[in-house]
Amino acid sequence: MEQFYAILKDAINEEMRWMIDHIYEDYKDTEDILGFALSCEKILRLYYGADIHEQIKDLLIYVLYVYLDYDEDKIELFLGEYDSQHNRYIQ
């Protein structure tokens, strides 16, 4: 989760970093990287006024693959099907 947090924080403007810091504080003692990613997505979508799901998903897949050594099948199982109406993954 630390890798996702660091990359995301570097990718956004300074004004939004404090929001990501607060979300990270809620998740840092858990292994819920998916919950953290979706919480960040909600806040960033409100701020930017655009659907950024694909960008967050791509970043999450990158972190899972490169840093956590998930293979493609494991990533697909981990992410499952995305329910855009409820902003969550169905696993």
Which structural domain, as residue segments, surrounds residue 6? 2-90
Task: Indicate the pLDDT class of residue 25, thresholds 50, 70 and 90.
Answer: very high
12 burial type by CB count under 10 A (0-12 exposed, 13-18 middle, 19+ buried) = middle
Mean pLDDT of all residues in 42-68: 90
For every residue of 17-78, DSSP letters joined together read HHHHHHHHHHHTTS--HHHHHHHHHHHHHHHHTS--HHHHHHHHHHHHHHTS---HHHHHHH
Counting the structural domains of the chain, the total is: 1
pLDDT at position 29, please? 94
pLDDT for 87: 76
pLDDT averaged over the chain?
89
CA 82 – CA 56 distance, rounded (Å): 12
pTM, two decimal places: 0.85
